[in-house]
Amino acid sequence: MNKHKDEEILGNLVTAIHKLENCREFAALIPEVRVNLVYALPGAKTCHDVAAVDGRITAVGGFPKASGPPAFGASDHMARLIIEARKYEPEIDAGINFKCNEAIIEIAKSYCLAYGWLFGWIDRTIEPEGVTSVDGKSMPWKIQTLVQKSGGLPRIFYEGDGWGKEPLFVAIGKTAGEVADIGIDIARRYSQYTGF
């Protein structure tokens, strides 16, 4: 590993985490599975090449709070998602997940429209049994299906609920700071919508 690049990625994650922790509105976007924020090394091939928040981000006292510091190998699901997404868009290095509901879907759609970004969703109910039952097969299927259905890789998309799965949004981008800003922007719009 390149020590300088490792430090750059961890530093960007620390800055992005602080942004989220200082945004009270983002606490309303924390799902039951909590939030993770990931940032991958160039050419990342495994979860150990992707830095994430150790223990994820939860809500404490009405504000988002990281459970631990960022570390390489601290995420599985979001790390695999970024590695898979890069097969379609090599400049994608970072991602964040957050809560999904009908209001957030409408807000995220209009947000994408304003930026000229693709918006998409993954229907977990049509996931083939041969994919769900084999470890590591689900993510390639999800991203491939998303890209085919959307006509490209959306910057913001959600996974619909499946059996025992919480519906979630994902925003992807070039840096952890960039995707944290997307989450904060959507959280502030959601706060205006809900009046909180």
Q: What is the DSSP string of 14-55?
A: HHHHHHHHT-GGGGGG--TT-B-EEEEPTT--SGGGEEEETT
Is it the case that residue 1 has pLDDT exceeding 60? no
Confidence grade of residue 65 (pLDDT, cut at 50, 70, 90): very high
Q: Please report, as a single letter, which amino acid is at residue 167.
A: P
> How far is the C-alpha of 19 from the C-alpha of 6, rounded, in Å?
20
Domain count, the chain: 1
Q: Look up the pTM and report it.
A: 0.94
**2: helix, strand or coil:** coil
CATH number of 51's domain: 3.40.225.10
Is it the case that residue 133 has pLDDT exceeding 80? no
What are 81-110's pLDDT values in tens digits?
999 999 999 999 999 999 999 999 999 999
Which residues are registered as beta bridge partners of 97? 170
DSSP state of 156: E
Token pair 């994430």 in the structure block, residue: 52
Strand-by-strand arrangement of the 119-122 sheet: 70-72, 50-53, 37-40, 94-99, 168-173, 156-159, 119-122
Domain housing 32? 3-194
Any alpha helices (H) in the chain, and if so which ranges?
Answer: 3-21, 77-85, 102-115, 129-132, 138-150, 176-194
Query: Whats the size of the chain, residue-wise?
Result: 196
Confidence grade of residue 196 (pLDDT, cut at 50, 70, 90): low
188 Cβ neighbours under 8 A, 6+ residues apart: 23, 25
